[in-house]
Structure formats: structure tokens, C-alpha cells
């Protein structure tokens, strides 16, 4: 690409409403952030790579993980969906796809719901186990309408770049709030409920049968692997992928999910400190953990294994927890998580303490505010 063409494309995207600092509406498009690690037996859950979910109503199951093998054109990581339970014969209403939700308040510059609604272009690299017709779909929550575009995989198990265009939705504005405004979904399998009609072209619609005609079934064999990376959704024409510092991508992802993880079961990491606190009584401590960023909404709090995987450190005594919950009233979605830790006995009221991992590799804390 010549310098003149690069400048022309930049000017065109600025005029279309893209900001110079963040033209990509997708978060973690290069799949560099994977806070959860490998996720097995997925049916309706977030994958190992942040911001991507695998959704199915069939018997198909996958392991969702970050693939760090060599990827073309400067991408070191990819989303990897490894089929672990196959569905070789999709029922009429069966489906499977991987998708990302985008907050409505991040989409206001699209001007959807007006005659000036901005068109979008989606570009990505894909490696599919199947040749033939695949579909990507955008769903507008406020309009309750779909728009899909097909792409053809020419060589199985080979990285290919795809670019798809979607006109703007002129009928209904996207709500300016922290709920889902649109989702972008890559179909992996579809039954006749979604494939039996005729695609209507560049139109927003509500007819299920016209959504993904002739979609291939990438879920039909446990040897199948589906990969995705370099995902960019932008106003106007496709431009070069917007590479950003890892720290920027991580903070964007942490608006929706934060994990405080133990990295080993012995040695210096065995008693990882999560935060500090104060003993309220001999059995209750209030503990505080700094949030990495303001989260989208009040988070759901999660742990792993038994609650005794966590402990209060009080004056060189490690006292296993019998309870650990989040205080939503003390947190809201600001930058401090407030937890109540309960032990059987042994605390000293008024004393400063630490909340810590109780010498196990199984322990982590997670805070979830996903769309």
C-alpha cells in the first residue's frame, strides 16, 4: 500500500467517524488476553480468550483456548476452538457459533437509527477445518434484527483473511448505556431452521430461515479445530489492523472480567496475597482488593475449589476461610472490591490482616461483569 493510499484511507475513516486512537470496535481482536486460561466442555460460556463466547444448543462441546503457535501477518495468538464432543447430524434448530458482544455506549458514533447510519467492515483471519460457505452475523439488540454476510473457505486448515461489509441499521437507535448494543457472531453449525431459506442480501431482517443458508458444520468431528484472530470491526472500508499495547487491551478486557490467580502450588507463590483488610470480630474480616479498572457493572464474585483454599493472615497465623463473599453495597462498580471473609475462630478484632491463597495451586478470585 502506498503512502498516499494509507493517508487517503486514514482521512476517509476519520470522516466516517472513527477516532484516531480506537477505530476497532472489537476488544482483544488479536487474542492476546486470555485471563481464564483453557476452558473445557464449553456449551454456553466464555472461551479461554477474553471477550469471546462459544454458544450452542446442540450436543457439541469444545475446549476454548488461546493458541500461541505461529500465525501469519504478525499475529502471535489466536482463539482456538477444539471440538471435544461432535455433532455430526445437526437437528433442525441446532446451532453453534462464537461471538462477541459490544456495549451500546461504545457504538453511538455509528448513528444507527438515522438516515446517516454508518456502514461497518469486518476483517479477520480464520483457519477452518471445512471448505465452503461460512457466515458471520451482526445482531442489533435494540432493533431485534439480523444481518449476515458469507465468506468462503478455500483451503481447510489454512489461514485465510476475510473481509465482509455490513450496511448500517437505519430503523432503531442503539441505546446509549452499558448493555449489549450489538453482537458479532461467527457461525460454526446450523440446522434447517436457520439455513432453509434464501439470503436476502444487504438487508436487516427477522426471518430465521434466511440467516445462514448452506452453512458448513465445523462441529461434526472431534478432530476439528477452528481458529480466529486479527478481528477488526470498523466504520467504512477495511484498514490495517490496529495493533495496540498489551496493557491497553488487557485493561479493556478487565472492564468485563478480572482474575486474581495463583501461579503455583508451592514456593514463593504459594501464599499469594490478594488484598488487605481489618478484623471486625474474632470470626469476620472485611477485605479490600483494588480493581484494575472500573467494571461495566456490579460484578459477580467467583472462587474455585473449596473456600478453605483461601485464608486470613493474622499476626503470622494462617487461618482458613469458612466463607468468602462480595459486598455489593460496598463496591458498586467503582475501583475497590470489598469482601467479607469468615473463619471459625482466631482473629483479633481491630487488627490489620491479609486475604491470601491458602497454599494451593487451585485458588483464584474472579470478578465478572460480562455482557
Topology (CATH) of 258-368: Immunoglobulin-like (2.60.40)
CATH architecture label of 3-254: Sandwich (2.60)
Cell 444448543 -> residue: 57
Q: How far apart are CA 327 and CA 232, in angstroms?
A: 37
Element holding 254 (H helix, E strand):
helix 246-254
Grid cell of 352 as nine digits: 490489620
Question: In what order do the strands lie in the sheet containing 39-42?
Answer: 39-42, 61-67, 78-85, 225-235, 120-127, 160-166
Query: Per-residue pLDDT for the chain (371 aa), expressed as one digit of tens each?
Result: 455 544 455 444 444 444 445 899 999 999 999 999 999 999 999 999 999 999 999 999 999 999 976 666 789 999 999 999 999 999 999 999 999 999 999 999 999 999 999 999 999 999 999 999 999 999 999 999 999 999 999 999 999 999 999 999 999 999 999 999 999 999 999 999 999 999 999 999 999 999 999 999 999 999 999 999 999 999 999 999 999 999 999 999 999 999 998 654 444 457 889 999 999 999 999 999 999 999 999 999 999 889 999 999 998 899 999 999 998 755 556 788 999 999 999 999 999 999 999 988 767 899 999 99
Cell 477516532 -> residue: 19
Q: How many CB atoms lie within 10 A of CB 272?
A: 21
Domain with CATH 2.60.40 in the chain: 258-368
Grid cell of 289 as nine digits: 482488593
Q: Which residues contact 202 (CB under 8 A, 6 or more apart)?
A: 147, 165, 166, 167
Q: How far apart are CA 119 and CA 110, in angstroms?
A: 8
Element holding 8 (H helix, E strand):
helix 3-15
The pTM assigned to this predicted structure is 0.91
The DSSP call for residue 30 is T
Domain with CATH 2.60.120.260 in the chain: 3-254
Closest CA to 297 of 110, 139, 104: 104
Strands 323-326 and 336-342: antiparallel
> 3-state SS of 187-243?
EEEECHHHHCCCCCCCCCECCHHHCCCCCCCCCCCCCCEEEEEEEEEEECCCCCCCC
Question: In what order do the strands lie in the sheet containing 95-103?
Answer: 44-46, 53-56, 95-103, 180-190, 132-140, 145-153
Amino acid at each position: 500500500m502506498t503512502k498516499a493510499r494509507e493517508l487517503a484511507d486514514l482521512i476517509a475513516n476519520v470522516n466516517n467517524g472513527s477516532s484516531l486512537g480506537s477505530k476497532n470496535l472489537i476488544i482483544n481482536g488479536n487474542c492476546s488476553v486470555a485471563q481464564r486460561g483453557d476452558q473445557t466442555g464449553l456449551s454456553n460460556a466464555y472461551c479461554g480468550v477474553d471477550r469471546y463466547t462459544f454458544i450452542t444448543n446442540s450436543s457439541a462441546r469444545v475446549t476454548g483456548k488461546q493458541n500461541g503457535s505461529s500465525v501469519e501477518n504478525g499475529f502471535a495468538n489466536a482463539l482456538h476452538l477444539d471440538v471435544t464432543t461432535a455433532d455430526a447430524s445437526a437437528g433442525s434448530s441446532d446451532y453453534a457459533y462464537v461471538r462477541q458482544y459490544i456495549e451500546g455506549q461504545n457504538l453511538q458514533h455509528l448513528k444507527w437509527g438515522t438516515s446517516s447510519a454508518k456502514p461497518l467492515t469486518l476483517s479477520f483471519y480464520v483457519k477452518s477445518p471445512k471448505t465452503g460457505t461460512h457466515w458471520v452475523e451482526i445482531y442489533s439488540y435494540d432493533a431485534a434484527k439480523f444481518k449476515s454476510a458469507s465468506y468462503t473457505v478455500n483451503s481447510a486448515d489454512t489461514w485465510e483473511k476475510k473481509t465482509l461489509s455490513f450496511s448500517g441499521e437505519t430503523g432503531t437507535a442503539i441505546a446509549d448505556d452499558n448493555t449489549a448494543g450489538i453482537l458479532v457472531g461467527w457461525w460454526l453449525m446450523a440446522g434447517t431452521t436457520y439455513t432453509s431459506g434464501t439470503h436476502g442480501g444487504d438487508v436487516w431482517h427477522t426471518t430465521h430461515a434466511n440467516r445462514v443458508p448452506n452453512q458448513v458444520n465445523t462441529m461434526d468431528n472431534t478432530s476439528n479445530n477452528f481458529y480466529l484472530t486479527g478481528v477488526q470491526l470498523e466504520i467504512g472500508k477495511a484498514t490495517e489492523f490496529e495493533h495496540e499495547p498489551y496493557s491497553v487491551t488487557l485493561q479493556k478486557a478487565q472492564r468485563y472480567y478480572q482474575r486474581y490467580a495463583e501461579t503455583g502450588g508451592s514456593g514463593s507463590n504459594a501464599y499469594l496475597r490478594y488484598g488487605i483488610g481489618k478484623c471486625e470480630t474474632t470470626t469476620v474480616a472485611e477485605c479490600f482488593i483494588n480493581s484494575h479498572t472500573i467494571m461495566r457493572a456490579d460484578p459477580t464474585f467467583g472462587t474455585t475449589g473449596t473456600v478453605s483454599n483461601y485464608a486470613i493472615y493474622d499476626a503470622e497465623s494462617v487461618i482458613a476461610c469458612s466463607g468468602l463473599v462480595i459486598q455489593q453495597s460496598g463496591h458498586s462498580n467503582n475501583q475497590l472490591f470489598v469482601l467479607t471473609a469468615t473463619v471459625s475462630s482466631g482473629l483479633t478484632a481491630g487488627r490489620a490482616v491479609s486475604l491470601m491463597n491458602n497454599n494451593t495451586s487451585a485458588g483464584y478470585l474472579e470478578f465478572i461483569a460480562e455482557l
